[in-house]
């Protein structure tokens, strides 16, 4: 039973870490990457 609980705990911790990283990306990506990603996206669309 302990192994199952530990594996479940690791899964929960992994999910929490992933959500935290996604939150950090949502916070910092607009400051660091919005313009470059936006411009590259526009160039990909307009470049066709």
Looking at residue 1, the DSSP 8-state letter turns out to be: -
For 6, the domain range is 2-47
Q: Token pair 């470059």 is at which residue?
A: 36
Looking at per-residue pLDDT, the higher value among 20 and 44 belongs to 20
Residue 34 confidence class, pLDDT cut points 50, 70, 90: low
Note the pLDDT of residue 5.
62
CA distance linking residue 41 with residue 28, whole number of Å: 19
How many structural domains is the chain composed of?
1
**How much is the pTM?**
0.46
Mean pLDDT, all residues of the chain: 80
Give the H/E segment covering residue 33: none
Q: Which residues of 10-47 are buried (b: 16+ CB within 10 A; e: fewer)?
A: eeeeeeeeeeeeeeeeeeeeeeeeeeeeeeeeeeeeee
């Amino acid at each position: 039973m302990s192994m199952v609980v530990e594996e479940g705990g690791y899964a929960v911790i992994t999910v929490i870490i992933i959500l935290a990283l996604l939150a950090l990306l949502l916070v910092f990506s607009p400051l660091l990457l919005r313009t470059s990603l936006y411009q590259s996206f526009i160039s990909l669309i307009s470049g066709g």
